[in-house]
Structure 1
Amino acid sequence: MRPVRDVHTRTVQAPAATVGALLDRLAGDDDPLFPVPVWPAMRFDRPLGVGATGGHGFVRYRVTAYEPGRRVRFDFPEGGHHAVEVTPLDAGSCRVTHVLEGRLRGAKRVAWSLAVYWMHATVVEEILDNVERAATGTVRAPVRRSRWVRLLHRLLWERPVAVPVPPAARLARTAFARTDFQDAWQLPLPPGMPGDPAAWKGVLRGAFPEKGRTTTEDGGELLLGQDARHLDFRASLLVESPAVGADGRTVGHGGRVTLSTVVRTHHTGGRLYFAVVRRVHPVLARAMLRRTHRRLALAAPSAGEREPAARSPRAGYRHRTRP
């Protein structure tokens, strides 16, 4: 079976040393190249270097070669590899090349042709956009996501996981002296996402009518609520991030956003009403959090846009691929 080989190149009007220094920060907390938060971050179990194991999203690999400022190669567990290399052209320009090679059989070959290739090609071109942007301050011809890639992106976006109401969600935990129901759903907060809970109000859009709605904010937590004759309802948005930059966006990894719900019923009618509502509540809560999470990620500046650049000459690129 003919191997898969995919090659992307970009000529960047910046010295190889400048671009190589960006490559050395790949997968770090201040990674200026991988297109986060729109795509899952590249992360390893240790700093970038031979032996580091990790990947991005569901793709796993291991660093098997690393020449600082010049080249890094990642090998897949099932065979094959991908690599990034910086090649000097002259004193003020260089070429960046990404190569993927491997052998795929059966279902993996079909998945590559139908879906994985299209997402892979887009991610690589967005990495090259970030190389060019971070090194020069501009991108001559940024990649555009196709309709097919946008659909795959929507379908594969990370789904919230159930967690206990976090200890840091103090407003939710102290909303009622007695709680008849509580749940919480959580998603990671990649670098570049808003760290201000007010930016996440869209999660609860339409959940509460304006009349009678209460809003409370405490640090990284926003609490919205509604009191009625049959039950009282509170929804908490807690944004936890390692650090927030001057632009109000998260930096580093390890942050998370949590949507918590607490309910207090008043009588048998309220308990019967909520017995029905609680069947659909988790589905709606997950959908609202996931939709807003993706919307904010798509609106956030990419890694290269968060990196200050000192120069802004023009740059060009080309892409060739062999399936």
Structure 2
Amino acid sequence: MVYNMHERVIPASPERIWELLATIGGEQDRLWPGDKSSFRLPEGLIPGAPVEHGPMRYRVGAIEPGRRLWFDTGTQLSGGHGFTLHPVEGGTLVRHELKGRTGGVFRLMWPLVIRRKHDVVIEKILDNLEREISRAHAD
């Protein structure tokens, strides 16, 4: 079983955070770090739509605007991963969780390679989210 969590309080409402989060993988994505082609949602952010994440292919799972964005990763990771938004004093607690049973090559690659890369990417997404919120407050 794999469980990985990252969280940060961002000084904005869940609705404002959602506006930015809902662009991830799309043409207007301002959150994904680096090469935008490494995480794409070619059909958009709709339940069941395909996700192209490097060599991995999976689907958009649950979408609850202002609350939750979840990706179903299938056999690579039985549970999936995604973001939840929780209103707290001073803003929104943004949490990213990855959880489930690993399968196939993912079982070997997670502890050796993927976990470290995943951690860096998620922290950069949270950094970018903070930067975008700060930029909006400055305007």
TM score, norm. by length of structure 2: 0.87
Unaligned runs of 5+ in 2: none
2: CA distance between counterparts of 1:70 and 1:102?
21
Give the structure 2 partner of residue 94 of structure 1: 92
Shift of 1:59: 2.3
**Which string of whole-angstrom CA distances, capped at 9 and with x for unpartnered residues, describes residues 185-233 of structure 1?**
xxxxxxxxxxxxxxxxxxxxxxxxxxxxxxxxxxxxxxxxxxxxxxxxx
Q: Which has the higher contact order (CA 8 A, sep 6+)?
A: 2
Cα pair 1:7 1:100 within 8 Å, conserved = yes
Q: Which runs of 4+ in 1 moved over 4 A?
A: none
Shift of 1:106: 6.7
Give the structure 2 partner of residue 131 of structure 1: 129
Going from structure 1 to structure 2, the CA distance change for 1:104 and 1:134 (only over 3 Å counts) comes to same
Shift of 1:42: 2.0
| Partner secondary structure for residue 310 of structure 1 | helix
Alpha-carbon RMSD: 1.8
Shift of 1:63: 1.0
2:137 matches 1:311 = yes
Give the structure 1 partner of residue 30 of structure 2: 32
Going from structure 1 to structure 2, the CA distance change for 1:104 and 1:19 (only over 3 Å counts) comes to same
Shift of 1:20: 1.4
1: CA distance between counterparts of 2:124 and 2:37?
13
Shift of 1:45: 3.4
Going from structure 1 to structure 2, the CA distance change for 1:40 and 1:87 (only over 3 Å counts) comes to same
Give the structure 1 partner of residue 7 of structure 2: 9
Cα pair 1:41 1:57 within 8 Å, conserved = yes
1: CA distance between counterparts of 2:30 and 2:81?
19
Give the structure 2 partner of residue 80 of structure 1: 79
Give the structure 2 partner of residue 62 of structure 1: 59
Report the identity percentage: 38
2: CA distance between counterparts of 1:43 and 1:11?
26
Cα pair 1:9 1:98 within 8 Å, conserved = yes
Give the structure 1 partner of residue 49 of structure 2: 52
Going from structure 1 to structure 2, the CA distance change for 1:18 and 1:105 (only over 3 Å counts) comes to closer
Shift of 1:110: 2.6
2: CA distance between counterparts of 1:29 and 1:58?
20
Cα pair 1:35 1:41 within 8 Å, conserved = no
How many residues are treated as equivalent by the alignment?
A: 136
Letter in structure 2 aligned against 1:68:
P
Alignment of 1:270-285 (within 5 A): none
Give the structure 1 partner of residue 120 of structure 2: 122
Unaligned runs of 5+ in 1: 137-308, 313-323
1: CA distance between counterparts of 2:114 and 2:126?
18
Going from structure 1 to structure 2, the CA distance change for 1:93 and 1:80 (only over 3 Å counts) comes to same
Cα pair 2:85 2:95 within 8 Å, conserved = yes
| Partner secondary structure for residue 88 of structure 1 | strand
| Partner secondary structure for residue 120 of structure 2 | helix
Alignment of 1:252-263 (within 5 A): none
2: CA distance between counterparts of 1:85 and 1:57?
23
Letter in structure 2 aligned against 1:46:
E
Shift of 1:84: 0.7
2:42 matches 1:42 = no
